[in-house]
Structure 1
Amino acid sequence: MGRTKHGNRDVHFYNIRGTDKMVHAGDCVLMRAAESNTPPYVARLVKMEADGSNNLIVRVRWYYRPEESVGGRLEFHGANELFLSDHYDTQSAHTIEAKCTVHTFEDYTKLEDATAEDYYCRFQYRASSGLVLQNTVALYCKCEMPYNPDALMIQCEECEDWFHPGCINRTIEQVKQLDRFVCSEHRQKKPLDTAVANREARPKRQKNKASKAHAKFLVESHDQFLQSKLEAGSYSKLYSYKHIVNGFALHTTPSQAEKFKGTHGVRLVEKDKGAKLMTTYTPDFLGLEAVWSQQGGERNAGDGIVIGFVDSGINPIHPSFAYDPLNPWSSNGTRFTGSCDGGPLFPMSSCNGKIISARFFASGARAAATLNPAVDIIHVASTAAGNHGVPVVVDGFFYGRASGMAPRARIAMYKAIYPTVGTLADVLAAIDQALLDGVDVLSLSIGPDGPPDDRVTFLSAFDIFMLSARKAGVFVAQAVGNQGPTPYSVVSYSPWSFGVAASNTDRSYPGTLILGNGQKISGIGLSGASIGYDLLQYRLVLAKDAVRANGAFPMTPRYTEECQSLEALDPIVVLGSVVICTFSSGFYNGTSNLTAVIATARALGFMGFVLVANPSYGDFIAEPIPFSVPGIMIPKASDAQIISQYYEQQTTRDGQGKAIRYNGRASISEGRNASYTERAPVVSRFSSRGPDYTDQKRSPADVLKPDILAPGHQIWAAWSPMSDNFALISGTSMATPHIAGIAALIKQNHPSWTPSMIASAMSTTATKHDNRGDPIMAEGFAANTVYPAAPFGFGSGLVEPARAMDPGLVFAAGYEDYLTFLCSLPDTDPEKVRIATGGTCPGSFSNPSDLNQPSLTITALSGARVTRRIVKNVASKPETYVCAVVPPKGVTVSVDPPWFNVAPEATQVLEIRLAVTQSLDDFAFGEIVMTGSLNHIVRMPLSILPVSV
């Protein structure tokens, strides 16, 4: 026995008074309540001690019964359910009445005969706040209430789902008398079948037996085909694609793959390509409060909708994905059938109702021999469907509260991108599974490295899979890429995927460097201020002047001026100083980074650091990231010269130019408080630009890309549990889930709308103007420069969710229309389309631009042309529209009829006549605007290249 404090001794066991039962620290026990009519309390023994008088004292952690919590007992709480609380206490050991067992929820449901001493726990409880935290929740039944293991349930033999008696309009007694049960969904397919009432096992949703048998047949046929064509050991089959297309992914040599070309039964052989990854404030910036109110507030926004993410994974323990047992989901209108793949970083319990499916696909990555599955990665699901009001706290500073666009939507995650590699083979397998599972919206923050090598972009395997998604009624949001501002850099090609570009918001995080002469230099840096910055200033030291005097360390400029190595700097000189580091060659070639600057500052005790532009290289692009020490980035070379001039005036040097006295002073202001004064939106520099193209030669296509603009620059997003819970991220990969979440809201409000109608609603209601009322601008190649943007940068404009909920008119297109579009392309023919899609050409447009899109792009207009659009009134009342035209330069445009009245659910055909008046070397832009008598405004962008009169 060891001493714990004066007079006390640790006790390792205790015999419960009046019994032969023995308990130890870690056991769960029943403890006598003070009131005789109160059942005993349940506690976990944390520690046992005996004082100097041999009185036995136990330290316990209490379990709460549901009725003892703030929320009280709810319908799904079982009789023996407990919450593990954060309430610790000290009691006399003599109040222990008996030993008991508190099981995990999963283990409890497997017990054959639960006794009165068997309890279970699936929630944690914060006694101080009354907050119930999810641990493990099993969702059963179509009502999707958390499973009450005491309740009788009945199983459908066909789909293997479980149902409460009340959810199938039967009493418990009626269910007990059933010999067979098939749910209503499958009743027409098969007569009544076996009924099972059980509380064991988790349900598994499966497709019917016929589809499973067909899938099995396809897998076997793939295996037989490969065995007949290739030698054993010369290949490895990665996937059988058996839902969207009949095909497989193979790891083999190019010469082996060549054997398939021209083989009977093989339509298409395509080389695998790389695939790569292309918010506290954005709900306010986009005006989502008005949209949420239409669904009853943020507690219902997106309810019943499943968003699928093919991405790099998810952090299941993040609060953005926590389950709220006090706000259970309504019955899901979809027939989602996904399941969970457990793993070391993703226990099965992570599928908690908010996350309803998680699968991973890594065969392609393994074949590339670079898979590193242990590395945790970022995700985008919180932006589309993260919980509402999650605190964003980084390095102890509160930045606000985060919310997804559709905070009540459910998440299905399909991991196909890994830290060191991503392959289209894995991505296609993920999409194949997502469509089989039944997602409503698919968010693809990924894309191919580039166009296919030997065919039209629209006929690549990736684009054909997305066409199948559109055919299945799934809305697909896809990142356009991060290769901007170069023209022809988009990697979202097809009209059936909704290409998303990225912009900023009006939020920024300004900081200030205050020099000793009173000058204030604006900069960027998410850090706290130097101590007493408004009253105290500190010695200002240039890193190059603080080199170790003994010269033992190689005095290379990269180490010294860029603050990359603490061994290079004299700790006596830099201690307590504001140190000037230079953004120089190392940062441009990738050998230097901010992490090393921060590490050096912390280790050597800088009061703060200033990272300034090197005038020889010009301005640099500064993105705010949290600094754990006071710091600021000064990206403009002109500001860096002001700082340098002040520093040299205040620094005394010897005859050899060595600094011997530092008289300059500086301090750094608070840089974590947001300002909302920036011009926005501005198309982000990295966001890929159109025009769209059809092949490796970048031949322009009659399709507008990007389709839409959304916030994707400096977005707070849920991050890895290995570091901070949130990070500030930029990329079209962050813009895309904004659109996916907004699509979920539209789908919730208009469940019968097709993907093309949802896309049209967002396109025709988008704005082309910024928060100052001026046309949207775009960042250029040079840092800190902007120029007027065009549809090839922002598509139809910045998404406006509130207007998209009620667009007035929509342009609808179906699967047959897309096949007709493919058959109208100059470099395709019906046979190529049949080989790629399995479909036949329903007809042919005069031109691909005849596809019924909410935009009109013509890549080579000669003379005159007439094209047609069909609009549908989705409003509840008849409305009269007047058409107006802003013609592109060099083109006349007219619309017939110039005005029209259209009834609800009725359509109107519009003939658009174009004629070249002047040939140009580049595209010109305009728009058709339809203004309705009920205040609907429908905009249709025009992108025309007039080549001859």
Structure 2
Amino acid sequence: MPLHRRHPARRAGLRRATVLAVLATVAAGLGPAALDAPARADDTGVPALQLVTLTGPGTSAGGRGPADLLARQDAVLAQVGSPMTTYRWTTALNGFAAELTPEQVAAVQADPEVASVEANTVRALTGRRGTALASGQVGQPRSRGGAGAVIGVIDSGLAPESPLFAALPGLGRAPEDFDGTCEVGEEWSSGTCSRKVVASGWWVAGFGQDRIRASEHLSPRDAIGHGTQVASVAAGNAGVSVRMQGRTVGQYGGIAPQARIAAYKACWGAPDPGDDGCATADLVSAIDRATADGVDVLNLSVAGPPGTDTVERALLGAAEADVVVVAAAGNDGRRQYAAHDSPWVTTVGASLGSVWQGRVSVAGGPTLTGASRSRRTSGPTRLVLGADVAAPGVRRRDAAQCRPGTLDAARTAGRAVFCERGGIGRIDKSDAVARADGVAMVLGNVRPGPVVDDFHAVPTVQLAAPDAARLLRWIRTHDRTTVRMSGVAPSPAAGRTAAWSPSGDPRASAVKPDVVAVGDGVLGAVPGDRGWALFSGTSAATARVSGAAALLRSRHDWPAPVVRSVLATTAAPLGSDPVLRQGAGRAGADVTGARLALPVATSGYREALDTGSWADLNLSSVLVRGNGTVTRRVTNLGTRAEYFSAQALGFARHRVRVTPLAVRLGPGETATFRIAVTGPAAPGRVDDGWIRWRGARGSVTRIPVAITR
């Protein structure tokens, strides 16, 4: 395939397709952000909202125009009495959402024009939020990158008042061939969009207006904070001061700080936060709109089941429009395989990052190391147990956990407090110490578990359970304990995938996740007075990879499949983690040394979907069932001819041979190579390793290989 992006000459056509679909929906009585609640599915014949996809692609893949697609939809609807539609889609796919009875569903499924019928469901976001308070430092953010690229963030909306989303000077060149508009609503006027936030939209009919919390906004405005955090990590402005409790603790910038943001709100907060989520009908509508608008990168930090459902089909349409689709693998790694297992999606898992450390030095006693964001040295300071400074009338157990209002300020003032983990949030404990005039906190785990370098209200060191127990014994056997607390250099990157980040299915046809990125304790902007918070999950990791994709789209005229390939083949392997846990490894923002790519033809994904086989796709990873031979093609991205040599590494139980072992490629030239796998015939564990191509000019291209049974 060509190494330059297809100029999106049909952007105007895609936009017209969406306009026609919207007009058709309005004619049916519902707008593009329809406010009617979906009917609930049951077995009594009551209509329920269904997502119906017709055969063939939407306009993003060429072929029929929007008028023809709408006519096909009308014909299907006419067979079941022409019910009103909630949404119409003609760009990323050809389909609609409508409330159908079980009898109508059966009739539609029998229509040869229909590819799938699927009930509307609600999916979870893949970020977990903690509150960031004062202390610590932020690091050295990137100052430039991403100019001219647009990241479409399909999420819970945006808090546009953050300085991270201001239309500052220095954003660089404006996006080309982007045709998004600013959809308005509550507390979001047409003037809210800017040179930084270049488009907005919102969809609630699938989730149901009757299900959203009172603090929500019927607009692109973010109420729960998830979308704001994701957008800030991917493309927040550079050089923004992080202020917490009146102090500046560092400078912030997103991965691609000059990239523009298109905020598509398809996720909503419910009265019970456990019910927050994104309805599939709303997600597909947002994907359809983002594709028509012409975003360069599409970020979807939403979980999902395996397989090719309506959301995945819509993401295929986005990929066919030359959009780099980046989606989260999910957070339930102990029970589920990675979400978004389609080959046209860059699926992102989460790795653990560096842990900022702190030291507690006991006068005359032990020196203990734990997690701490604080870089300041405090003490010597008297250390007291929370239970020993309980306020009058407070249970010792509550004070031991440093619950709000449980500490006696008269006995806490000027002292460090030992607080037991549990009962309430970690951050809330340091806030309670600060409100009681304490000057530092030692947070002790009472059972096995990780330590976290949170931002706290006072200098804090969190100790693992063995060290916490050791310190407790010292305090209880000595009349007076004095400690000095100090920050130490961060530990090296943990070098492994987070336990909660899902692995790929060994029975699948492709390696997932494609890559991982740091997904624990990531700082981002949030709505409200505090302005900042840490969050974890594959949402945070996905935002980082979306930013990296925007950097590539800004620097190079590469089509989306080449960008996807470079993100994977330049990733750094994580120690001994299996390929099906880490994919190609940890994706980085600096891929300037990329020389080879494994591009996929634009039509290849749909052909694979139609045939049910990914075997002929030129994916940047390899999954082999037992023994066999797999063919791949590498293309020289450079401007000069170069020699490249191949080597198979890391396989423990199979023999893996690469032929040829060396190639010479001119600029844009492609070579075919084969990977032959032989090994034990008996079932066994998954074996894995890498095919590594080295260029004469120092480049390294890694292709992960998983061998399953």
TM-score (normalised: structure 2): 0.81
> Which of residues 503, 506, 510 is equivalent to 1:703?
510
Deviation at 1:520, TM superposition (A): 2.9
Does the alignment pair 1:593 with 2:425?
A: yes
**Residue 379 (structure 2) aligns with:** 534
Mapped to 1, the partners of 2:606 and 2:76 lie a distance apart of: 29
**Residue 683 (structure 1) aligns with:** 497
Deviation at 1:255, TM superposition (A): 7.1
Deviation at 1:265, TM superposition (A): 4.7
Deviation at 1:400, TM superposition (A): 2.4
Deviation at 1:527, TM superposition (A): 5.6
8 Å Cα contact 1:888-1:943 kept in structure 2:
no
Does the alignment pair 1:461 with 2:303?
A: no
Corresponding residue SS for 2:233: helix
8 Å Cα contact 1:581-1:610 kept in structure 2:
yes
**Residue 852 (structure 1) aligns with:** 618
Does the alignment pair 1:277 with 2:122?
A: no
Q: Which runs of 5+ in 1 are unaligned?
A: 1-184, 190-204, 289-297, 452-456, 587-591, 651-662, 693-699, 769-775, 778-787, 826-844
**Residue 349 (structure 1) aligns with:** 191
Does the alignment pair 1:319 with 2:163?
A: yes
AA aligned to 2:466 is S
Against the structure 1 CA distance between its residues 248 and 579, is the aligned structure 2 distance closer, same or farther, given a 3 Å change threshold? same
Superposition pairs of residues 307-386 of structure 1, within 5 angstroms: 307-325=151-169, 327=170, 329-332=172-175, 334-366=176-208, 369-372=211-214, 373-374=216-217, 375-378=223-226, 379=228, 380-386=230-236
Superposition pairs of residues 78-157 of structure 1, within 5 angstroms: none
Does the alignment pair 1:403 with 2:253?
A: yes
TM-score (normalised: structure 1): 0.61
**Residue 370 (structure 2) aligns with:** 523
Superposition pairs of residues 658-673 of structure 1, within 5 angstroms: 663-667=479-483, 669=485
Does the alignment pair 1:580 with 2:418?
A: yes
Mapped to 2, the partners of 1:342 and 1:928 lie a distance apart of: 50
**Residue 53 (structure 2) aligns with:** none
Against the structure 1 CA distance between its residues 716 and 335, is the aligned structure 2 distance closer, same or farther, given a 3 Å change threshold? same
Against the structure 1 CA distance between its residues 760 and 224, is the aligned structure 2 distance closer, same or farther, given a 3 Å change threshold? closer
8 Å Cα contact 1:445-1:478 kept in structure 2:
yes
Superposition pairs of residues 632-643 of structure 1, within 5 angstroms: 632-634=461-463, 636-643=464-471
8 Å Cα contact 1:392-1:401 kept in structure 2:
yes
Superposition pairs of residues 828-839 of structure 1, within 5 angstroms: none
Superposition pairs of residues 744-759 of structure 1, within 5 angstroms: 744-751=550-557, 753-759=558-564
- Matched positions, count: 634
Mapped to 1, the partners of 2:611 and 2:78 lie a distance apart of: 38
**Residue 15 (structure 1) aligns with:** none
**Residue 839 (structure 1) aligns with:** none
8 Å Cα contact 1:511-1:522 kept in structure 2:
yes
Against the structure 1 CA distance between its residues 900 and 329, is the aligned structure 2 distance closer, same or farther, given a 3 Å change threshold? closer
Does the alignment pair 1:432 with 2:288?
A: yes
> Which of residues 648, 655, 662 is equivalent to 1:885?
648
Against the structure 1 CA distance between its residues 376 and 881, is the aligned structure 2 distance closer, same or farther, given a 3 Å change threshold? closer
Superposition pairs of residues 797-946 of structure 1, within 5 angstroms: 797-802=585-590, 804-825=591-612, 848-858=614-624, 860-861=625-626, 864-886=627-649, 888-917=651-680, 919-945=682-708
Mapped to 1, the partners of 2:98 and 2:173 lie a distance apart of: 42
Deviation at 1:245, TM superposition (A): 2.1
Corresponding residue SS for 1:854: coil
Deviation at 1:447, TM superposition (A): 2.5
**Residue 564 (structure 1) aligns with:** 403
Mapped to 2, the partners of 1:933 and 1:595 lie a distance apart of: 51
Deviation at 1:931, TM superposition (A): 2.2
Against the structure 1 CA distance between its residues 819 and 312, is the aligned structure 2 distance closer, same or farther, given a 3 Å change threshold? same
Deviation at 1:541, TM superposition (A): 2.8
AA aligned to 1:499 is T
Mapped to 1, the partners of 2:299 and 2:510 lie a distance apart of: 21
Deviation at 1:871, TM superposition (A): 1.6
Give the stretch that moved more between structures: 220-229 or 386-395. Answer: 220-229
Against the structure 1 CA distance between its residues 316 and 214, is the aligned structure 2 distance closer, same or farther, given a 3 Å change threshold? closer
8 Å Cα contact 1:283-1:405 kept in structure 2:
no
Corresponding residue SS for 2:667: coil
Query: Cα RMSD (Å) of the superposition?
Result: 3.3
Against the structure 1 CA distance between its residues 727 and 210, is the aligned structure 2 distance closer, same or farther, given a 3 Å change threshold? closer
Residue deviations 1:389-435, cap 9 Å, x none? 22222223433222222222111111111233221221111111000
Deviation at 1:206, TM superposition (A): 9.3
Corresponding residue SS for 1:682: coil
Corresponding residue SS for 1:502: strand
AA aligned to 2:598 is F
AA aligned to 2:265 is K
Residue deviations 1:197-232, cap 9 Å, x none? xxxxxxxx9977687446645775668966874798
Mapped to 2, the partners of 1:806 and 1:885 lie a distance apart of: 21
> Which of residues 473, 480, 484 is equivalent to 1:645?
473
**Residue 89 (structure 1) aligns with:** none
Deviation at 1:353, TM superposition (A): 0.3
8 Å Cα contact 1:857-1:944 kept in structure 2:
yes
8 Å Cα contact 1:322-1:354 kept in structure 2:
yes
Residue deviations 1:32-84, cap 9 Å, x none? xxxxxxxxxxxxxxxxxxxxxxxxxxxxxxxxxxxxxxxxxxxxxxxxxxxxx
8 Å Cα contact 1:540-1:665 kept in structure 2:
yes
Corresponding residue SS for 1:939: strand
AA aligned to 2:450 is I
> Which of residues 578, 583, 588 is equivalent to 1:795?
583
Residue deviations 1:836-876, cap 9 Å, x none? xxxxxxxxx6xx34421111112x31xx4222112222211
Does the alignment pair 1:762 with 2:600?
A: no
Mapped to 1, the partners of 2:99 and 2:482 lie a distance apart of: 60
Corresponding residue SS for 1:478: strand
Against the structure 1 CA distance between its residues 260 and 766, is the aligned structure 2 distance closer, same or farther, given a 3 Å change threshold? same
Deviation at 1:649, TM superposition (A): 1.0
**Residue 834 (structure 1) aligns with:** none
Does the alignment pair 1:729 with 2:520?
A: no
8 Å Cα contact 2:74-2:82 kept in structure 1:
no
8 Å Cα contact 1:565-1:596 kept in structure 2:
yes
**Residue 548 (structure 2) aligns with:** 742
Deviation at 1:908, TM superposition (A): 1.2
Against the structure 1 CA distance between its residues 704 and 548, is the aligned structure 2 distance closer, same or farther, given a 3 Å change threshold? same
Mapped to 1, the partners of 2:311 and 2:401 lie a distance apart of: 43
Mapped to 1, the partners of 2:245 and 2:629 lie a distance apart of: 60
8 Å Cα contact 2:691-2:702 kept in structure 1:
yes
Mapped to 2, the partners of 1:432 and 1:935 lie a distance apart of: 41
8 Å Cα contact 2:171-2:259 kept in structure 1:
no
AA aligned to 2:687 is A
8 Å Cα contact 2:427-2:457 kept in structure 1:
no
Corresponding residue SS for 1:269: strand
Mapped to 2, the partners of 1:261 and 1:419 lie a distance apart of: 33
Corresponding residue SS for 1:868: strand
Which of the pair has more CA radius of gyration?
1
Mapped to 2, the partners of 1:685 and 1:208 lie a distance apart of: 42
Superposition pairs of residues 177-326 of structure 1, within 5 angstroms: 212-213=19-20, 216-217=23-24, 229=80, 237-250=85-98, 257=105, 260-263=108-111, 265-278=113-126, 298-299=143-144, 301-325=145-169
**Residue 523 (structure 2) aligns with:** 716
